[in-house]
Amino acid sequence: MKILSINAGSSSMKFTAYEMPEEKVLISGYIERIGIEGSFYTIKINGEKIKKEIKVVDHKQAFEIIVNELINYKIVETLDEIKAMGHRVVQGGSYFDKSVIVNEDVLKKIEELSPLAPLHNPAAITGIKAAQEVFPNALQVVVFDTSFHQTMKEDKYLYALPYEWKEKYNIRKYGAHGTSHQYVSIRANELLKKQNTKLITCHLGSGASISAVVNGKCIDTSMGLTPNAGLIMGTRCGDIDSTIIPYLMRKGKTIEEIETTMNKQSGFIGISGKYSDARDIMQGCLENDPRAILARDMFVNRVVDYIAKYYFEMNGCDAIIFTAGIGENSFYFREQILNRLSIIGIHLDKEKNEKCIGEEAIISTKNSQIPCYVIPTNEEVMIARDAYNLL
């Protein structure tokens, strides 16, 4: 059975077509700059990558491109062969603790939650509506980044603000990257050959978060009400003293300026003054750029803080997992982090770590008390699995 997994951003759309339940990738693609000058897309099929330039005016047209390519590459003969589509939605609030089939009520709730994910939720709705038009016979399913974190208990997800604010304004921790944390924890349990485990999963990309996962369930995570909490990221500040905001407002900054700066001009770029990309930070460090070194050290400090916090919160840990752009590819950052954790019995295998770029591997030594793994994430297959199961 053929299933399409969709990840729609405000101006981009990633898709992967699977044969399920085998989870065989038939084709995948990435359409960029939707509705913007210079749009193009890339297709990956049979190990080949093909780039095509074409004007893409909206999400509906993006789906039409997907249809054309599915037929062009003979993935399907007719559209009816796509039995279900799974869409990634960033914010599901407290409404959704698992993936669901799309209906009017579900769309209304995703819309209602848009203020908590203003860039992402509206884009997902546009994507789903366009998919309904172009694929009228496929079951539409939504998979939320927040669902996996809904198992957190109140003492972990509440902020120490007036209790009524949770009821009145929905203020609490929701977390993010849930599909990724869930995927790598399932895979880690397979590698550890047991289900009852305590894991620390580190999703380190340009957005970054860490979760504590006990027996496959999230008990705590570093992101909060929004994805700008916890770790220091490419352009986001993560945890700060909340009083900085009213202080800056009294100094004459507008709320929009502060919000934009905290989301787009902070983190690596804010501290280094030059680089938001971890590769550039690393290069800057190798060239002894003091601000790049400062950005690296602040990032590493924060990651180590969260790992230490979750180690105590779970009363131990069976494995630490690294995933996403930095976690999967940067032996440099992994080494910086793990070298700081020898106090809890972690020993990095320097050679294995340096060899591991973008593939699954164990990167700790045999005598390390906690094994450390790199597990490439696969949010797309999780989306396809949920769509398949709901169908």
Shortest Å, Cβ 61 to ligand ADP: 24
Q: Answer yes or no: are the C-beta atoms of 27 and 69 closer than 8 Å.
A: yes
Is-catalytic flag, 349? no
Helix (H) or strand (E) holding 78: none
Output phi, psi for 361, to 5 deg: -165, 155
SS3 140: strand
* Residue 65, CA distances (Å) to 6, 272, 301 in order: 13, 40, 44
Phi–psi pair at 198, nearest 5 degrees: -115, 115
Among candidate residues 203, 137, 149, the one with its CA nearest the CA of residue 173: 149
Q: How far is the CB of 169 from ligand ADP (least distance, A)?
A: 27
The DSSP secondary-structure symbol of 81 reads G
**DSSP labels for 167-228?**
HHH--S---S-HHHHHHHHHHHHHHHT-SS-EEEEEEESSSEEEEEEETTEEEEES--SSSS
Rounded CA-CA distance 339/358 in Å is 20
Q: For the CB of residue 12, give the shortest distance to ligand ADP in the complex, in Å.
A: 11
Please report, as ranges, the residues that interact with ligand ADP according to CB under 6 A.
205-207, 234, 277-279, 324-326, 329-330
Query: Which residue's CB atom is positioned nearest to ligand ADP?
Result: 325
93 phi and psi angles, rounded to 5 deg: 55, -150
C-alpha angle 15-18-20 in degrees, rounded to nearest 5: 145
CB of 107 to ligand ADP, least distance (A): 25
Q: What is the SS3 assignment for 231?
A: coil
SS3 state at 346: coil
| Closest distance of CB 13 from ligand ADP, Å | 14
Nearer to ligand ADP, 52 or 279 (CB): 279
Give the CA distances from residue 329 to residues 267, 319, 320, in Å, rounded to whole numbers and listed in that order: 19, 19, 16
Which of 80, 97, 105, 145 does the annotation list as catalytic?
145
Phi then psi for residue 162, to 5 deg, are -50, 130
Q: Which is nearer to ligand ADP, 179 or 330 (CB)?
A: 330
Taking the complex as a whole, the smallest distance from the CB of residue 207 to ligand ADP amounts, in Å, to: 4
Specify the DSSP class assigned to residue 333: H
Closer CB to ligand ADP, 156 or 350, in the complex: 350
Least distance (Å) from ligand ADP to the CB of residue 74? 30
Residues acting as catalytic residues: 145
